Structures are given as structure tokens and as C-alpha cells.
Structure 1
Amino acid sequence: MRVLPVVLLLAALPAFAQSGPSASDPAASSDAQTCAFAGPVMEDVWDEFEEQALNAGCALRTGLGVKTGFCAAAHFTTGLSSSLVGWWNSAVGNSWATIGPRRLTPEVQSGTIQGQTARTFVGVAPVFSRTTVTVDKEGGQAPTEVTVCAYDRDGRSEVIARRSFARGRNTDPGPERLDVTGANGRMIAVNINGNPTNPLNRFEYEISYSTEPVRWDYPATGFADLHLHQAADLAQGSGWYWGSHAVDANAAEICDHTTLTGAVVDQLIPIGTNPSQHAVPVSVDLGAERIDHGSGPRDFSTWPSHEEIAHQQVHRNWLRAAHRNGLNLAVVSIVHNQPLCRMVRELHPHIANQQCEDGASIERQLEALLDFDEANDWYEIAVHPWHARKIIHEGKLAVVLSIESSNMFPASEGPLDTQLGDVYSRGVRSLQLAHEVDSRFAGAAPHMKVPFEVFQALRYPTTALSSLVDGEAGFGGFNYESGCSSNDPECKNSIGLKPQGHELVQRMVSRNMIVDVSHMSEQAVRDLHGVMVGQYDEYPFYASHSRFKPLLDAETQAKQREFVTTDEQIGFFLDVGGMVGVRTGNNAILSAPNRSGASGPAVANDCDGSAKSFAQLIDYADQRGLPIAYGTDLNGNIHQTGPRTGDDACPREGPDADAFSFLGTAPAAGTARRPAVSRTPVRAGTSRPSVSRPSTSRPSVSRPGTARPQVTARPAQAGAIQPGSTAASREAAARGIAHVGLLPGFHQDLKVLNTPGTDRLDQSAENFIRMWERTYDRSVQLLGAPALGTPQIQRGPARVIRRGTIRRN
């Protein structure tokens, strides 16, 4: 018996690279003719594989086609091969497969060809690793030729192996091997072609193949930012944030506004040399926030400020600098706020035709991020956790796409699963179920009465009117608990996870997507925890950007209300293996509990709104064993953590200062900064808080201490060199987080301060990926979740959220 293994040794090529001779090459024409035996089959095979790969979550639909190379990971190869078997078996009933091709399988298949006949075997998934096709001659005397061809998605083909069996009963010992390169990412087919002089001669064979699994189990180094609005310049009708994320800062067009001084109306209406740029106050210094426009070139040494809320903080070169210095994973959040968009549109004639539906904004940003991925070889959108490991291993920034929106997937735009499947096929792997106002899926976390209580009332006017009729104090659009007033910061939104929210969660679980609970009401988070623990076997969820409620003083708690992480919720995250992105910002923070034997906090809390404040949050998480990352919310209309050295050090944010304070009461321009306050530590306790199963009762609230003496902050001098500091950490200490490029320096500055828990930040990329990997443990077997390969999205490139006509809301 003669054994002929054909070994395909694949070159280290990109999984979707085209290889082989060009179409104009005579060799290419010859190969095309030789490989025509499987040509009619391959288009159908590729179509089905792409759709099943998209459903399985290992492919990415882009404007250039579907990228399937991410399916090389061992987790997907077996499942996809199995799911394609069913499709193949159904296809052979009434199509091309009935008259010839058979599926190439790992199991041995035997057969006989006689005379001048042939048998074709087709692989139903691309080859991604070393693959061996073995043909055994079992009997017969017919001379036979075995040809192995590789097929690109675009229809090109190439002969990659060929071997002949001579006439007669060959008894040569041992196998013959042929090493071939270039099949990576392409389909293969094998043709066994008889060519006897005697038509009665037969060739009896056995054929099978084996492939080595591809394992992307690389450790993930570096830290993560779980909430970054990279493309916010395209949100809110493209009229709020100035400066393109797709260009370097020094290549961005200068924002050139001149200012009329005087009334508030001058601050709200863009008046100046170029009023068509963006709808923000044209030059404002309200004490707690600053929006500087100016004109002429900038050196970026002092601009933008950490207080900026209207100019790009994630220019391309800044993001790349952050990556080069330690940021290895970023959850890039596509964001939209419909009421804000409408306000911006009214202020700016040049965007009067921009759509303000969430779907249109999501589409703009998603397409831009896919384009950014194509244009920048250091940046790559991750479609599954093993892909993220591979990206980081190759020295790139792993990007996980998420959506933050209160009106995504409206019923008017079609079935929920179709809309979800569309964004999923283009890389979205995380969602927030609510944003600033209640959504069709969940209740939102009330915070900042102006403007978000107003936005809620505009969306749900019946609820707001009912609260006024009932004599409730204040203007409330949220469904507060019975007997509560919107003016009481301890009143909770009674809306939890809605029926449509349960459906969305089930469909996310079936796709291994992760729920981000940021901005969800406390009741909604409680409901979600009950679902994930009780129905989905502790399926993980996370908060991308939040602060810990026990470390917020009474003023800040009154402002943030439910947009916080409570000790109860920390228990939830620990239950399911989740994590929290700790939100940066220039808020005053209470001191973390003293550690055993210590007489004070690990980091002196004497500079409000700076790294010293943020260090208290990191220390608090560390004492509770909570996995954490950064949750910067850059480009999120918020003030960032400020400097701890220099003239602008310790920029405590007052209770009335927020990203939209120019819409309401705010300190007059030039108001002095509030002095820092001695931060009384909250009650110490390092044990994990006890967590009960979800209930309707409201958890007890840790309240801060009462009045504390005011003291004057004593920031470190800018010229003082502290042990462990670097040029980057000193710049961050002097500027805060003015843009994403300063985040690695800020990270180092926390280490300069000897902040407990920075090792958790160092491990945050790895911990996020581990959390994501856990979604694959059980999800496809849960509660009727569609099995791997079950069609979930419409075939073809249609975009279900793209609107064909421009219209105003």
C-alpha cells in the first residue's frame, strides 16, 4: 500500500493576504484551468463560511469585504467546521454537490474511480495552519493524478500541490511528502483524476486531512481604558467636538472663534470669524470649566486644558503615543445624545441637515472607526478575546467597540436581532443598555438635574407632567420610587430591566457580548445581576466608567445620584467575574480607609481633583479585591483629572460645576477655586461586602461625615523631582489628563505616589480579556441561545441602521 501525504506548510502571511501569481501571469491562467474542477462550488462555500463566521463572532464586515482570518483561533475552527457540515449536507440534496464534490473531512473516506473519471473533495473552511491531506492507494492499477488547489475569496485559484500515482500496483515503501506554502486564509480542494489507457482499470483510495490548531494564548500586557470616545467629533451632529480623531493634532484645522463679551446669549451663539465650526460657547471661563478657542497655531504645551469639553482629546498621534507607552487595550465607545444633538443643530446652521437619530450617529462613527482600522497598522479592532491577545502580542492596540446611547435599535427600524446583528457583524462587542435617559431596554441612572432631568422629561413628558400634577417638588421625568421627590438625592429610579432588555441581554449572551452597566439605574443593575447569576450561570458584566459611592462627599453624591458604583454592586462584579473602569475627573474624593496599622490614607489626600484624589479610588478597589482599569471618558463632555503641581494644581470640582453648567447656575467668570477640604476617611473594612440575591428593597447608603474643616492645599512644586518620576509623569502631574497621550504619564505618577492597587491597573488588559473569555464558557448552551452557526443576520452588505434620506427630527 502506498501512502501519499500532501503537507501544506503555510507561510507567515496575513490571514487575508492574496498570494500566488497575478491574473495576467500565464501560470495563473493555467492554474485557473487546472483548478476549475471546484470553481462553481467555491463561491457558495465562501458565502456560507463568511456568514457563519460573522455569526460565530470571528469575522469582521468592512467596506472592503469580510475579514475571516480571525477564525484561525482554535476556539472557532472546530465549531465552524461542525456547523458547516449541516449546511453542506442540506446543500447536497438539490444542487451542485449531488453530481460530484464531496466534503473534505478529518475522517477517512474511501472510494473508487474507474476509467477517465475524477472525484473532487472540497474543504468548507479556509486553511489557517499546517494542514496535511493524505491520499492512500488501496488498490487498482490505473494511473492517477492528485491535485490540491487553493481558492481566494475573489475567485482566483492556484495549484499548491500535485502528485502522480504511476500505472500498476505500486508497492514503494513509505509516504512521499510535498511541502507547499501560500494557502494561508484560502479554501482548498483536492481532485483525484484517473487517466488510464484501459477504461476498466480502477484506482481505490482513502482520503483524509488533519490540521494543527492555532492557539493565540499570549499573555496580554499593559493597561486598559474601558471608556474612550475616540470618534466623538462625529457625534451630536458632528457639531460639538472640534478636531478630527483621524489626524494628528498638529495637522488639525485650527478652531478659530473670536468672542463677543457680555451676555449669556453671546456664550451660546457662535459668533466670530468662523461661526460654522462647532456649537459650543465661544469662549468661556466659568471657574470650574474652560472652553478656549482662540486662533493661530498651537504648540499643545498648555492646550487643551484638562477642563476642555469641546476640543478633540484623542487625536491620532496622542492615541498612538498612549499605546506606545503602555495603553494596550481600549474600549472605544460610540456615543450619542439625541437631545444634545438637536440643541447643537439649532445653534448651527451648517449642520441643520444632520440627522439626530441615534442610528445615523452610530453609523457615522462605526464606519469612521472601521476606516481608521484600515488606515493605521498599529490599531486593530478585536472581534474575540483570543484575537485581542494576538493583537497585543503583535505590538498593536487592541480596540473593543461599544455603544453608549439611549435610543439604539428603535422598534421602528426593524427587528431587534437584525439591528443588533448588523453592528455585531461590524465589530461591536459591548453595549450600554441605557445612557442619560431611560431606554426601551432599561432604566437610566439619574444624575445632574440640568440637563439630564430635562432631557428625561422631554422624552417622557407624560411622566414629568404626572409628577407635577401629584405635587412633587422639582421637575422630574424619572419614575422615582413612591413618595419620593426628584429633589431628594436618595430617591431612586424605579425602572429596572425592561422586557425588551431581557430579550437584548439574551441575544447579547448568545453572541458572547458583554453588558456595560454604566448609566443603568440601581434597580436595573440589580435585575441584571439576578438574570446573569440565576439564568446565565454568572455570565460577566462590567462598568466602563464609574466612581465608588462611599468615597463621594454629600455634595457630589447629590449630583451623581445613581451614576456611581455602590458596595452592593462591587459584590455583583465579584460574583460574576466583572470589573470596573474607574472614571477619572477633577472631583473631590474622600480618603480611602486606612490600611492595617496605618494612621492615615496610603496617599495623602491633600490635593482635590488631582492624581491624589484618584489614588483614593484605586486604593479602595484594591482593598476590596476588585479588578479595575481606567475609565477616562475622554471626549465625553467631562472635566478630566487635573494637575497636582503648578499654579493650576488641585482643581476641585464644585457641586454646581459640570459639563453643561452654562445652561444653568454656575459661578461667575473668574471665581476663585474652592479650597481643598480635609478628607475624613470612610469607615475601614477590607472584607468583601455581603451580597444578597436581588430584591426590591433599596440598599443602605454609606453617608460621609458631616462638616470638615477647610484647609489650604499645598501642592508639590513643579520643579520638585520625586523618586520614580519621569518626564512623562511630571508633565501629567503639571497638566492632568488633558488628552489621551498624557494617560501613561498619569499612570506613572500614581506609582510615584505609591498608590496601592496600581498593579491591578497594570493587569487590566489581561483581566478584561479574561472576563471576555468567560463569556464563551457557557453562553451558546444557555436558554435557547442560537447554536454556533445558526443564521442570525441578513446575508449581504445591507446596513439596517443607515438612513437613505436626510431629514430633520
Structure 2
Amino acid sequence: PAKKKAKKTGLFNLGKKKSSSGDTKVSESFGSSEKFAPGIWKKYVELAVRYGQTKSATLKPSAALRSLVAKVQGNTLEAALIEAGLFKFFRAQSITGNYLKDPFSHPARLAFARKDGSLTGTLGRTWIHPVPYDCDKVEFVFKKTDGKGKAGVTFLKLTPTGQAVGLWTFGVAPGDDDDGRSWSKSFDGVRGCLLAAVVDGKSVSRKIDYELMIRRPGQGKVSPAKRSRGLRIEGFADLHAHHMSHFGFAGALIGPSPMGALPADCGGKHADFGGTHENIGTKRDWDWPVQDDSGHQVMHWTHLREAMAAAVTGGRHGLRLMISPSVNNMFVSHLISNKDGDIPLNDMDAIRLQLKAHHAFAERYDWYEIALDPWHARRIIAAGKLAVILSVEVSHLMPKSQGEWRDQFDELYDLGVRAMQITHENDTRFAGAALQHGRIFGLKHLAKKPAWNQMDPDMREAYQDSLAHISKVEKQATVSLDHYNPVGITPEGFQLLALMAERGMILEIDHISRAGRKQLWDWVSGSKAPAAARWYPLNFTHSRVDELMPGKDWFREHYGQQPKYAIRPAVGWDGKFSTLEYMATMEEIKRLIPTGGVFGVRTGPNAQEEYTPSGVDNCCHTSSRSLAQMLAQLRDLGVAVSLGTDIDGFTTLTGARFSRPAGEKPARKTE
């Protein structure tokens, strides 16, 4: 009976429907609409085999599959990897189903965020959450937003044993009396099942607009922090280190994994840009971590333990706290030729995987713990552990294609996110991005390359946003490239910042345009901000002092005797020419002080102009001697200073005082 009811609603057989224009629409997803659920279970088993959860590659929906799902859900990392693979598989099927020409030819993704839907006439729409649900209870939410059409709505669960069980069916009356009305209901016994919804149009030609979502128990709930006293801590903090970037960038940029045993060599199967760049992940024996290598893992668990060593053994100077941003870039992910076929390319699914990987790491290593508030962080550190704050750093943050941003924000918060960059390499819906490295002009080139009908909705939205960003910037451009992004913080951006302040989260402002950073300062120091955001701490978590960055001409003249330095295109080697507006100005840094914010010094290989009061001879540029110039000036300014290494963020690091490539002669005798 359950299967028959599901079939009647159209879950397994949308059949052939007539559109208002009389055209026949046939579902093509996963081969046909009757097979999409078995197709998901088949992919689930394939991924479970890949990640060592079963050897039964031909496992069908059955009691055995139900047991496998329960086993996987008990393993955080494997469950996260399988979830990521299913999300990517679902997106790929969307493209195969020719979504652009016929948006009804495949199921839409049911999510923990409100998503818009629209139907005309007797068309039907199937929604599915393509990952076995990991809670016992779920709430279904449906809201009619507009239109005079009539519709029938059914929520279902698809069990691992192959059953389709109808949970709730109701009708939406024709006319506009139900406009703005919401329907919601909670159900138990859904763990391990796929969740689905079917919306069937019941009118001849009228339209209905609606919102649809599923909600976890307690989603977005903020629990009061447990305050602590008397926990003085010492040591150092790294405010920007990408601990799980191994799982970003299509799983192909940073290698090997930060978990498990150290391999004899990396295998050389990562960071290959398909001819657009040298393979920075070239196979090499285990001689890393080294500061001039941006493609190999430098945050293996053994490296973190070494950084903590002083603290663990009772000393005062070890690593005690770390902000770890989950990071991704869809453009880079598409460029990498040796990408992992089961790791998502889109930003939000990539960071979901990384966030869950952090939690898996914390489960595996008892000296590592996710901090949810400042007092919690102090208790973690007092117990001799490393306190880790989860952050997010992507260019396509909480996109419209994935639903209402507040719901997406709640999902990130529930995953432990307590810090955030509201923009990254290009503009988001929240703020304009600070230009750096001339990368924006590279994006323009990339935006012309992929076939439009081969992109999923997130990627199309990202390309449209990047092109709009480029258009605005080029109007301001000059021949010298000495220009800034005129786009500041959007109204939605201020709403997001207010919500972050209300929840006590860390505001990271590094990648916001200078126009936006000025707006933000005026906002927190003025009267327009809500009470929670007044004089709220502003933080640069991985930046440098713009005024101390040498100009391009000075820098190249200084290294005239060393061609390697003169032509190397890495970050900072051309001084201010390559950093544009990303680096913090002295005026911006001074604004941190009254807010109580912190400046995280980015430890890249950047030359610095001399700051005589430092007491350090600035005779070995791009080394720790250069870094000392900036640290001393920041100290004398009175700003709170920490490190922001950007490790595993596709960047190299400051070298030792007298280090240089083999065979290279020093620039000065004093070196």
C-alpha cells in the first residue's frame, strides 16, 4: 500500500504531464523517474565500498543495506565523505537530465534551508534529500508564497529496504486565500531514510509559488555559554590555518591527508592545473613540511603535536588556539585536471565536508577539540588540548541557489562555525571582495571557458556574480592596476554581520573591499548598528601592513643581482603591485584597537621596509627578519597581535633568517 500511494503521488512515476503550453514533459533523472531512488542507493553502496565500509559492491535495498547505513552513520568521516559524494552525484544527474531546458526533468534537492519552487498547470515537482538522514526526528515545512493555483503536497521517506512510505499529504486550495500560509509537521522514525516531497499542480493553467524545506531538531538554536573564571592561558594562536583543505578544491590541491600515518611519498597526484600551471604537487620523498612548498601537507597531526609541544609538556609557548577556515574555490576546482570524482566542486558542499572532517579529527585525536565559545576555548586549553575555532572562507557563500541564507547560516552554526569571512576572492551577496594578485582578470577568462549547459546551478550563479564583479571593477581600473573594488557591504551583508555579532562570532574582515571595511567601521562605531554590534571587535586574521610593503621598483632593484627573486610571480614578490587592496593600511589597523580586535600577521614570504625601532637588522628579505619589522611596528602601535599563517591555503611561508635556494649567493655581505 505504501508503494502504491507513493506511485500515485508521482514519486516513482511522474509519468508524462502536459504543460500549460501543451508540451509533454518526461522525467529523465537517473535514467527515469522510476529509478532515481534505487540509483541513489546504488551510488551509496559504491561510495561505501570506496571508503572501506563494506565489500558488498552489489548490495541492493534490503535489511543488509539498512545495517550498512547504520554502520556508516557511526563513522563521522566516512559518513561525511559519502554524503559529499552523493551530493556531487545528484548534481551530476541534474546536468545529465538537461536541467536548463527542462527544470522538471529531475528531482530538486530538498535541504535544511527554504528553497523556492514554482508550478504552472498540472506540472509536478519531486524534491529529495539525497543522503540518508542522520536524526530520528525531522520537521517538514511548506509555505505558499503566491499564485492562484491548486496543488497537492506529499512528504515521504524512502527506506534502505526499498519501501516508499507516505508520511503526510495535504492540499493547497486555489485562489489567494492561502497566500503566506505555512504547513509544518514533525515525524519520528526517519533515521537512515531518504526524505522526499512531491508537489503536484492541480490547476489547468494557474500558477503556484511556494517554499519547501526540512528542519532538524533544534536547528539554529543558540545555547547560552557556560562562563568560566580564573583560567589564564599563555602560548600563541594561529588565527588562520586551513587544517582540512585537503578535502577542498576537488580533493586534489593539498596532499596527503592530515590524518593517519605519514606516507613515504605523496604520490604526486595533486595540484595539477592541467597545463595552466606547473604541477606544484609533484611527487617527492618525505622532505616536507618546508616553507616554500604550497602543494604539500604541512598540517599533519604529527606537525600539530609538534607545534603544541611546549604547551603539552608544561611550557608556555606552544600553539594553544587555532582558527581553521574550511575553504574552497569552484574556479580552481574546475581547473585542476586530476580532481577526485566524488569530492564536490561547489563551495558550500565542499565546506560541509571539511567542517565534518574537523569533527571527525576531534573524535580521533583526544588532544584536539572544537571550541564553541571563548570560555569553552579556555577550558579546552586549560585541559592541555588544542582549541580549534571553525570558520568559513569561500567566494560563493550561502548562495541563493541553495536557499534562504539565514537557514544556511543556522546549518553552519549547528556544525560548529563560530567565525566567518563574508567574502573571499570575488563578490558575494554580502560584500565586495578586496582585489589581489590580479586574479579578477583571470576569472574573466575562466568565465568564458566552461559550456554553460554543463554547469550546475551554483556554478552558473558564481560565474554570473564574477562577471558582474569584473564589470564593476573594470570601470574603476587604471593602466597601473592601482585600483580598488567600489563594491562595499550589501544590506544582506549588514544583516549577516548583525546576526554574527548577536551570536558572539568572530568577524574576519581581511577579504572585504576597502570600501566595505570603511563601511563596517562606520557601522560598529556609529549609531546605526544594533546594540550587539556596537563597537564589536573587528579582526584581520591573516594580513600584512600595506605601508611596510616595498614598492615594485624598489623591490626589483634590490634584488637585481638575483634574477630568481626579480621574476618570481609568487605572492608578495612584487611588493605592493601584487597585493592591491588586500593588505591592511595603518589607518585600518588603528581602528581595531578601540573595538578590541586582533591582527593576525600573515607569515608569507613578503619583503618589508625597515622599521628601525625593531632592533632587528632587515638584511635578509622575505625571511623572519622581514617579519620582525612588522611585528615590532604593530607592537608599538598597541594593537593585539597574533599569527595568521594561512597554512595549507595555497601559500608559501616565511623562510629562516639565512635560508636561500641552494647555490644562491647572498645579496649583502652582512647576510
* Equivalenced residues, count: 402
Task: State the distance in 2 between where 1:355 and 1:637 align.
Answer: 18
Task: State the distance in 2 between where 1:317 and 1:516 align.
Answer: 28
Once the two structures are superposed, residues 765-800 of structure 1 have per-residue CA deviations (whole angstroms, 9 ceiling, x without a partner) of xxxxxxxxxxxxxxxxxxxxxxxxxxxxxxxxxxxx
Which residue number in structure 2 is paired with residue 495 of structure 1? 487
Q: 1:712 aligns with which of 653, 668, 671?
A: 668
**Cα–Cα, structure 1 residues 366 and 214, in superposed 2: closer, same or farther, change >3 Å?**
closer
Instruction: Return the offset for 1:463.
Output: 9.1
**Cα–Cα, structure 1 residues 282 and 406, in superposed 2: closer, same or farther, change >3 Å?**
closer
Q: 1:314 aligns with which of 268, 292, 299?
A: 299
Matched, 1:455 2:443: yes
Q: 1:591 aligns with which of 597, 607, 610?
A: 610
Kept in 1, the 8 Å contact 2:428–2:465? The answer is no
Kept in 1, the 8 Å contact 2:431–2:488? The answer is yes
Task: State the distance in 1 between where 2:503 and 2:639 align.
Answer: 26
Which residue number in structure 2 is paired with residue 327 of structure 1? 319
Please give the secondary structure, in 2, of the residue aligned with 1:629: strand
Which residue number in structure 1 is paired with residue 245 of structure 2? 232
Which residue number in structure 2 is paired with residue 637 of structure 1? 650
Instruction: Return the offset for 1:645.
Output: 2.6
Please give the secondary structure, in 2, of the residue aligned with 1:398: strand
Please give the secondary structure, in 2, of the residue aligned with 1:712: coil
Once the two structures are superposed, residues 235-280 of structure 1 have per-residue CA deviations (whole angstroms, 9 ceiling, x without a partner) of 10101111111234xx2362234xxxxxxxxxxxxxxxxxxx2242
**Cα–Cα, structure 1 residues 366 and 463, in superposed 2: closer, same or farther, change >3 Å?**
closer
Kept in 1, the 8 Å contact 2:267–2:283? The answer is yes
**Cα–Cα, structure 1 residues 445 and 486, in superposed 2: closer, same or farther, change >3 Å?**
farther
Instruction: Return the offset for 1:713.
Output: 5.6
Task: State the distance in 2 between where 1:254 and 1:282 align.
Answer: 22
Please give the secondary structure, in 2, of the residue aligned with 1:408: coil
Task: State the distance in 2 between where 1:366 and 1:641 align.
Answer: 28
Which residue number in structure 2 is paired with residue 246 of structure 1? 259
Once the two structures are superposed, residues 325-381 of structure 1 have per-residue CA deviations (whole angstroms, 9 ceiling, x without a partner) of 31001001111111001111xx12x62454211111011101100011111111111
Instruction: Return the offset for 1:294.
Output: 3.6
Instruction: Return the offset for 1:304.
Output: 3.5
Kept in 2, the 8 Å contact 1:359–1:408? The answer is yes
Which residue number in structure 2 is paired with residue 561 of structure 1? 580
Q: 2:405 aligns with which of 416, 419, 422?
A: 416
Kindly provide the amino acid, as one letter, of the partner of residue 559 in structure 1. S
Kept in 1, the 8 Å contact 2:270–2:281? The answer is no
**Cα–Cα, structure 1 residues 279 and 223, in superposed 2: closer, same or farther, change >3 Å?**
closer
Task: State the distance in 1 between where 2:546 and 2:669 align.
Answer: 24
Which residue number in structure 2 is paired with residue 477 of structure 1? 470
TM-score of the superposed pair, with normalisation by structure 1: 0.47
Once the two structures are superposed, residues 628-652 of structure 1 have per-residue CA deviations (whole angstroms, 9 ceiling, x without a partner) of 1001000111121012235539xxx
Kept in 2, the 8 Å contact 1:247–1:317? The answer is no
Percent of aligned pairs sharing the same letter: 30
Kept in 2, the 8 Å contact 1:240–1:279? The answer is yes
Which residue number in structure 2 is paired with residue 472 of structure 1? none
**Cα–Cα, structure 1 residues 214 and 629, in superposed 2: closer, same or farther, change >3 Å?**
closer
Kept in 2, the 8 Å contact 1:606–1:713? The answer is no
Matched, 1:550 2:550: no
Q: 1:363 aligns with which of 352, 366, 391?
A: 352
**Cα–Cα, structure 1 residues 410 and 648, in superposed 2: closer, same or farther, change >3 Å?**
same
Matched, 1:504 2:496: yes
**Cα–Cα, structure 1 residues 391 and 515, in superposed 2: closer, same or farther, change >3 Å?**
same
Matched, 1:576 2:565: no
Task: State the distance in 2 between where 1:316 and 1:353 align.
Answer: 24
Q: Give the unaligned 5+ runs of structure 2.
A: 1-132, 137-225, 311-317, 448-460, 553-574
Please give the secondary structure, in 2, of the residue aligned with 1:491: coil
Please give the secondary structure, in 2, of the residue aligned with 1:479: helix
Which residue number in structure 1 is paired with residue 98 of structure 2? none
Instruction: Return the offset for 1:392.
Output: 0.8
Once the two structures are superposed, residues 482-508 of structure 1 have per-residue CA deviations (whole angstroms, 9 ceiling, x without a partner) of 6x4254343211000011111111211
Which residue number in structure 2 is paired with residue 616 of structure 1? 629
**Cα–Cα, structure 1 residues 463 and 416, in superposed 2: closer, same or farther, change >3 Å?**
closer
**Larger Rg belongs to:** 1
**Cα–Cα, structure 1 residues 253 and 64, in superposed 2: closer, same or farther, change >3 Å?**
farther
Q: 1:431 aligns with which of 420, 434, 437?
A: 420
Higher RCO by CA contacts (8 Å cutoff, separation 6 or greater): 1
Task: State the distance in 2 between where 1:315 and 1:283 align.
Answer: 29
Kept in 1, the 8 Å contact 2:432–2:516? The answer is yes
Kindly provide the amino acid, as one letter, of the partner of residue 371 in structure 1. A
**Cα–Cα, structure 1 residues 285 and 419, in superposed 2: closer, same or farther, change >3 Å?**
closer
Which residue number in structure 1 is paired with residue 361 of structure 2? 372
Kept in 1, the 8 Å contact 2:545–2:583? The answer is yes
Kindly provide the amino acid, as one letter, of the partner of residue 517 in structure 1. I
Please give the secondary structure, in 1, of the residue aligned with 2:427: coil
Task: State the distance in 1 between where 2:427 and 2:669 align.
Answer: 40
Please give the secondary structure, in 2, of the residue aligned with 1:563: coil
Kept in 2, the 8 Å contact 1:516–1:541? The answer is yes
Task: State the distance in 1 between where 2:581 and 2:549 align.
Answer: 12
Task: State the distance in 2 between where 1:436 and 1:446 align.
Answer: 7
Please give the secondary structure, in 2, of the residue aligned with 1:364: helix
Task: State the distance in 2 between where 1:541 and 1:242 align.
Answer: 33
Kept in 1, the 8 Å contact 2:241–2:324? The answer is yes
Kept in 1, the 8 Å contact 2:440–2:470? The answer is no
**Cα–Cα, structure 1 residues 546 and 419, in superposed 2: closer, same or farther, change >3 Å?**
same
TM-score of the superposed pair, with normalisation by structure 2: 0.56
Kindly provide the amino acid, as one letter, of the partner of residue 633 in structure 2. Y
Instruction: Return the offset for 1:575.
Output: 2.5
**Cα–Cα, structure 1 residues 416 and 487, in superposed 2: closer, same or farther, change >3 Å?**
same
Instruction: Return the offset for 1:403.
Output: 0.6
Please give the secondary structure, in 2, of the residue aligned with 1:507: helix
Please give the secondary structure, in 1, of the residue aligned with 2:601: strand
Please give the secondary structure, in 2, of the residue aligned with 1:228: coil
Task: State the distance in 1 between where 2:444 and 2:509 align.
Answer: 19
Task: State the distance in 1 between where 2:644 and 2:335 align.
Answer: 27
Task: State the distance in 2 between where 1:283 and 1:647 align.
Answer: 28
Instruction: Return the offset for 1:425.
Output: 1.4
Once the two structures are superposed, residues 285-322 of structure 1 have per-residue CA deviations (whole angstroms, 9 ceiling, x without a partner) of 99xxx946345x53x3xx34311111101000101110
Task: State the distance in 2 between where 1:214 and 1:579 align.
Answer: 22
Task: State the distance in 1 between where 2:497 and 2:323 align.
Answer: 19
Kept in 1, the 8 Å contact 2:239–2:643? The answer is yes
Instruction: Return the offset for 1:401.
Output: 0.7
Instruction: Return the offset for 1:533.
Output: 1.7
**Cα–Cα, structure 1 residues 462 and 410, in superposed 2: closer, same or farther, change >3 Å?**
closer
Please give the secondary structure, in 2, of the residue aligned with 1:580: strand
The 5 A counterparts of 1:781-800 are none
Task: State the distance in 2 between where 1:411 and 1:252 align.
Answer: 41
Q: 1:293 aligns with which of 271, 282, 291?
A: 282
Which residue number in structure 2 is paired with residue 255 of structure 1? 266
Which residue number in structure 2 is paired with residue 79 of structure 1? none
Task: State the distance in 2 between where 1:389 and 1:452 align.
Answer: 40
Kindly provide the amino acid, as one letter, of the partner of residue 314 in structure 1. M
**Cα–Cα, structure 1 residues 214 and 320, in superposed 2: closer, same or farther, change >3 Å?**
same
Kept in 1, the 8 Å contact 2:426–2:432? The answer is yes
Which residue number in structure 2 is paired with residue 393 of structure 1? 382
Task: State the distance in 2 between where 1:329 and 1:586 align.
Answer: 23
Please give the secondary structure, in 2, of the residue aligned with 1:480: helix
Please give the secondary structure, in 1, of the residue aligned with 2:519: helix
Q: 1:443 aligns with which of 422, 432, 448?
A: 432
Which residue number in structure 1 is paired with residue 290 of structure 2? 305
Task: State the distance in 2 between where 1:435 and 1:367 align.
Answer: 21
Kindly provide the amino acid, as one letter, of the partner of residue 586 in structure 1. P
The 5 A counterparts of 1:12-23 are none
